[in-house]
Amino acid sequence: MKFPFRLSVVAVLAAACSTSSPPASAPTPSRDPRVGLKAGLHDAGEAVSNLKIDAKAVSPPGFLGITNSDLAFTGKYVIQGNYNGPVIWDISNPSSPQMVTAYQCPASQNDVSVFKNLMFMSAEANNGRVDCKPGGVPDTVSNERFRGVRVFDITDIKNPKLVANVQTCRGSHTHTLVEDPNDKENVYIYVSGSAPVRSSSELAGCFTGMPSKDPNSAWFRIEVIKVPLAHPEKAAVVSSPRIFQGLVAPPEHGDVKEDSLEEAKELAEQLQAPVVNSYLHNDSFPADHPLWCGPLGYQGSKAAMKIIAQADVVLALGTRLGPFGTLPQHGLEYWPTKAKIIQVDSDHRMLGLVKQISVGVCGDAKAAARALNHRLANRDVAARKNASERMRTVKSEKEAWEKELSEWTHERDAWSLEVAKGSGRMHPRQMLRELEKAMPKDAMVSTDIGNICSVSNSYLRFRQPSSMFAAMSFGNCGYAFPTIIGTKVAAPNRPAIAYVGDGAWGMSFGELLTCVREEIPVTAVVFNNEQWGAEKKNQVDFYANRFEGVNLKNPSWAEVARTLGAEGVIVKNLGDVGEALEKALDAQKKGKTTVLEMLVTKELGDPFRRDALKKPKRLLKKYEHTNVA
């Protein structure tokens, strides 16, 4: 199954849709006749193409309404698999099938095949019994349970005779009948099981360990059953080959984000359109591409905001245009209210939900970008005519923002200036800049929801997809560390770094034991400023510095890490930040998890949403003294 990708790229297309001639209309697809068919056991709607229905046969009582499976044919008979057992029909007159017999033997899927006078039937579910009786097997382990392939003698097809039950470790979801041209005495059944491995207490030789650790594992193999034609009752498993062992994954396997990104890059380059990332999707477009401008939204790029503000057309490719990526920031009202907005998203409910749009496209980001590339390939697109001027603007705004970031060494509000005065600790913004400089090109970074983690949005740049893992709008505190553990398991050869505030770290540091025990090497950068910064900023700005529950007394997080078996390093000086990160990432290659405890000042970046809180105004006289001017 192919799932649509959401690239979360907003491409600013200045006059991108103005063309010298209108695009040709796509042909209207013919209506699928299956659409709208009604359901029903006997009267369901039908759609038939290139076939003729000669007759309909209704399953007998006890089998009616139970799932049917495969069909097998022998002479004038058709054998219908059914989860309650096989049903045999005489179809010598195809327009009037006659039931010959229905053999009760519950299991699933009861797929059937036939060779001469033998019928084979698969059983996988736990309800199958050796004696074919109904009722299942209540015990967890039982010698009455059957999971495997049954062998029937159908010489007298009206009275099938069960002659063998061949048990397998994972049952038989289905099977394939195989003849050996050099062996006329036997036939072979290749068994495919998809159920969990049964207990070795129920069937000897069933081992549940993974093949990498247990060569006798019952996972990832098939069973081969040899059936002597003269004595089918002696049918037995003769081998369990691992037919998938040693296979190398193909270069491509379905859509991946990298494929979608290439289509988006081609489209942006064709239009020479600057590209901005939506909020906390800094990895949706490569930061080393000349058209990249940075992320929108909270603590995002001023360059991105100033550039999109000038757009007359915006293509929002694979994004829901969430509110935190369109709200004012850095004092800028940047969303282009007069621009035409073309939104592409795989979820139709997101189209036009947050921002008014001109055109909504419900679809896959990659497919949409490819279609646009195809339509625009031979057009004289107006966006190319002023590309040089636009690129000069992009270059200028990006350089100005980089200069501002480098000079923005500390927060400038009154609270931050006061608490940082005389502190021997590092300024958070300077520390984040040093982390950015030392960050490997292929790093994966997860960010928690604290104040410094949010400020890091200005400094996190990526060159490939699946690199940034943020909590998004969920606000789930303590998210970053367990998330980066998961990403490291998924991509063990890439550096894995979690940005975590000390409050969130207090909720998640126990997973250090997981890293040590399971040998999952990651790096946690813990910002120790002894406060719940995001909440404290609201109390500074909106509650006259009246603090409740936001100040922390921390242990040495580096010492805690060492106690739990990981590496722990306290970083006090700005000049040590880059080297500390590099050493921690080198330790990952040796299987070591490291906690970098960054001692930073209590200064605080802008609040998450200035529009979310207003200064309180008390209505009762006795509370007037708590008003904030």
As a whole number, the mean pLDDT across the chain is 90
Is the Cβ–Cβ distance between 383 and 14 less than 8 Å? yes
Q: Which residues contact 341 (CB under 8 A, 6 or more apart)?
A: 314, 316, 355, 356, 357, 358, 359
* Calpha distance 396→386 (Å, rounded): 16
Binned at pLDDT 50, 70 and 90, residue 611 comes out as: low
Is residue 352 over pLDDT 70? yes
Mapped onto helix, strand or coil, the DSSP state of residue 30 is coil
pLDDT computed for residue 27 by the predictor: 45
Write out pLDDT tens, residues 221-249: 999 999 999 999 999 999 999 887 777 76
550, burial (CB in 10 Å: exposed 0-12, middle 13-18, buried 19+) = middle
Encoded tokens for 569:
């390093």
Is residue 285 over pLDDT 90? yes
Predicted model pTM: 0.61
Average pLDDT over residues 463-478: 90
Write out pLDDT tens, residues 415-433: 999 999 999 999 999 999 9
Mapped onto helix, strand or coil, the DSSP state of residue 173 is coil
pLDDT computed for residue 253 by the predictor: 52
pLDDT computed for residue 14 by the predictor: 40
**Which residues sit opposite 224 in a β-bridge?**
190, 239
Domain 9-16+255-403: give its CATH code: 3.40.50.1220
408-599: CATH topology: Rossmann fold (3.40.50)
> Side-chain half-sphere of 84: how many Cα atoms within 13 Å?
17
Average pLDDT over residues 363-371: 92
Average pLDDT over residues 273-283: 94
Q: What is the DSSP string of 330-389?
A: TTB--S-TTSEEEEEES-GGGTTTSS--SEEEES-HHHHHHHHHHHHTTS-BGGGTTHHH
pLDDT computed for residue 191 by the predictor: 96
Write out pLDDT tens, residues 374-403: 888 878 888 888 999 999 999 999 999 999
Instruction: Return the percentage of the chain with pLDDT > 90, whole number.
Output: 73
Is residue 2 over pLDDT 80? no
